[in-house]
């Protein structure tokens, strides 16, 4: 099968590309660096010719509210129109658990807009909503740092190793379109501030994390339901501590 992975050079995309190639498929890793740009439309018609499946795991270069909305809506429209013209039979996109429950987050509003475009496109689709990647913990800590203080919500959080989200995408890509949204999360739910303390301790970082129920996570206050999955998510099996030890050993 010819499968085009939009954002195929990224964290998730490169892992999906590797897995699909191992399964014997013809996989094109598409991104601006390889001449495929979903914002300008450059290279889209050429790369989609003969493709049965498109996996969209591109990300916005900017997380600023307006920029991220412009990215996911423009890219979504351009990509879906090009897929319709090329006769692509399955659009698989990676979204985020909680996109519909956190309207104050500009990033999650943009991901919800991306999902809506997909559902309205008429192209058979599957949306995989994942919780946050372990790899994103550093970005979360940066976003929560004010001077010397890291203020984070104690709301429940259930992150996952990026490779397990990628494995689920690779499986979904070779299956039939579900015309539905499925969720995936990590094996354990714990307060977000505790995950951050564990992360900092593993790298010998002595900074303190203050738990604050009003601390905003990329623009939104959290409760235990904000970023945790609903009933029957797929679950990864890699525990955060094991991932941290493995990542430290690799360094
Ligand atoms: N971070 C999380 O915890 C999390 C959780 C759930 C879901 N997600 C979703 O996962 C997806 C992938 O995230 P990631 O962390 O793997 O992203 P990433 O590593 O930042 O990679 C982004 C990819 O998008 C490509 N890209 C950027 N602009 C593009 C354009 N105009 N046209 C085509 N491709 C473009 C980049 O290509 P170049 O390398 O050429 O720039 C790169 O391949 C995102 O949609 C995100 O919303 C993330």
- pTM for this one? 0.97
Please state, in angstroms and rounded to a whole number, the distance separating the CA atoms of residues 8 and 11: 8
CB 6 within 8 A of CB 58: yes
Please state, in angstroms and rounded to a whole number, the distance separating the CA atoms of residues 30 and 46: 11
pLDDT above 90: residue 204: yes
| CA angle 174–91–112, rounded 5-degree value | 130
CB 21 within 8 A of CB 31: no
Please state, in angstroms and rounded to a whole number, the distance separating the CA atoms of residues 176 and 64: 35
Share of the chain above pLDDT 90, in %: 97
Where would I find the H helices in 62-105?
65-86
Write out pLDDT tens, residues 84-95.
Answer: 999 999 999 999
Is 130 near ligand 1, meaning CB less than 6 Å away?
yes
CB atoms within 10 A of CB 62: 10
Average pLDDT over residues 56-79: 97
Please state, in angstroms and rounded to a whole number, the distance separating the CA atoms of residues 50 and 68: 30
| Of 78 and 249, more confident | 78
Residue nearest to atom 11 of ligand 1 (CA): 57
The alpha carbon of 237 and the centre of ligand 1 are apart by a number of angstroms equal to 23
Is 13 near ligand 1, meaning CB less than 6 Å away?
yes
Is 3 near ligand 1, meaning CB less than 6 Å away?
no
pLDDT band at 248 (very low <50, low <70, confident <90, very high): confident
């Amino acid at each position: 099968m010819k499968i085009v992975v939009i954002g195929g050079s990224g964290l998730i995309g490169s892992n999906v590309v590797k897995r699909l190639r191992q399964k014997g498929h013809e996989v094109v890793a598409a991104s601006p660096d390889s001449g495929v740009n979903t914002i300008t439309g450059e290279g889209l018609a050429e790369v989609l010719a003969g493709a049965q499946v498109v996996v969209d795991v591109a990300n916005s270069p900017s997380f600023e509210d307006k920029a991220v909305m412009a990215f996911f809506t423009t890219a979504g429209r351009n990509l879906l129109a090009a897929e319709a013209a090329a006769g692509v039979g399955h659009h698989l996109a990676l979204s985020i658990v909680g996109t519909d429950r956190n309207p104050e987050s500009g990033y999650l509003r943009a991901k919800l807009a991306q999902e809506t475009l997909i559902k309205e496109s008429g192209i058979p689709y599957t949306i995989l909503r994942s919780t946050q990647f372990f790899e994103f913990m550093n970005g979360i800590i940066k976003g929560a740092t004010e001077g010397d203080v890291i203020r984070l919500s104690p709301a429940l959080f259930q992150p996952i190793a990026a490779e397990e989200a990628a494995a689920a995408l690779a499986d979904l890509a070779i299956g039939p379109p579900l015309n539905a949204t499925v969720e995936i999360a990590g094996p354990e739910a714990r307060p977000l501030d505790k995950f951050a303390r564990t992360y900092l301790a593993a790298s010998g970082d002595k900074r303190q994390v203050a738990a604050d129920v009003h601390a905003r996570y990329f623009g939104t206050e959290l409760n235990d339901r904000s970023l945790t999955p609903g009933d029957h998510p797929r679950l990864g099996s890699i525990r955060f501590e094991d991932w941290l030890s493995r990542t430290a050993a690799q360094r």
